[in-house]
Amino acid sequence: MSDEGLDSSPHPPAAASPDRPLLDAIRDGDRKEIARFVDLHADAVYRFVHHRLDRPEALDDLVQEIFLAAWRALPHFRGESEVGTWLLGIARHKIGDYYRDRLRNLDLSAVIDEDSLPESLRIAPTVDERIDGQRREARTRQILSTLPDPYRAVLVWRYWDQRSSAEMAAISGHTEKSIERLLARARALFRRRWNDG
């Protein structure tokens, strides 16, 4: 794991954070406060990761990994931000790790040459404002689920996790050009399915 987003050197607390008593009790092995910590923050972490992940089946493991990473980083937490914000920083970092591994394990070249792009695909899609958010979300997720894994991964990482192509390239180890080509293909296929629906 890289260290982006995780403060790796021990520091004294910068200021008296309102979260400090809870964190001190957790570090002291207070079992009930550990439960309170989970109960207080699990929903926000879960929502954050759920929104940014291309595979629901990876969600639980990733959320657990984020809390474990937070536990290990607790001695280095300076209290400069709220615990919730700090946790989401760790989550963002872990999501980057997840996509790095994901793109490393997928055969990107196989899908890049998979289909051609006829002129008919170049019709720009629109978001119908009359469709309510819930239906649009359901339809978006449904179409994403039909895309090949690499397409879905780059689309969700790019737009739902709001990463630039340059960041995606730097984290995944692929060239920016190959990421952009993959994104273009993924957008085209998504668009075709959106317009067909």
Partner 1 sequence: MGNSDEIEDEAFFERLAQAEPSALRAPARLKSRVYSALMREAAEAAPLRSLTATEAAGHRLCVFEKFVQILPLGARLDSVNYCRFCHGRVLGENMDSAPIFWKGCPYADFHRH
Phi, psi of 17, deg, nearest 5: -85, 145
Nearest to partner 1 of 45, 179 (CB atom): 45
Residue 57 touches partner 1, criterion: CB under 8 A: no
Residue 89 touches partner 1, criterion: CB under 8 A: no
Residue 151 touches partner 1, criterion: CB under 8 A: no
Residue 46 touches partner 1, criterion: CB under 8 A: yes
Contact assessment for residue 121 and residue 188, using Cβ atoms and an 8 Å cutoff: yes
Residue 130 touches partner 1, criterion: CB under 8 A: no
Q: Which of 18, 118, 133, 197 binds partner 1 (CB under 8 A)?
A: 133
Residue 116 touches partner 1, criterion: CB under 8 A: no
Within 13 A of 162's CA, how many CA atoms are on the CB side? Answer: 4
Angle between helices 31-52 and 20-27 (to 10 degrees): 110
Q: Which of 17, 67, 99, 151 binds partner 1 (CB under 8 A)?
A: 67
> How many chain residues interact with partner 1 (CB under 8 A)?
46
CA atoms of 63 and 49, how far apart (whole Å): 7
Query: What single DSSP character describes residue 122?
Result: G
Q: How far is CA 156 from CA 6, 30, 51, 105, 122, in A?
A: 23, 38, 9, 17, 21
Q: Which of 6, 22, 34, 73 binds partner 1 (CB under 8 A)?
A: 34
Nearest to partner 1 of 14, 35 (CB atom): 35
Smallest gap from Cβ 19 to partner 1, in A, equals 16
H helices present in 74-127, as ranges = 83-105, 108-112
Strand (E) or helix (H) holding 52 = helix 31-52
Residues interacting with partner 1, by CB under 8 A? 25-26, 28-35, 37-39, 42-43, 45-48, 50-51, 60, 63-64, 67-68, 71-72, 122, 124-127, 133, 136-137, 140, 155, 158-160, 162, 184, 187, 190-191
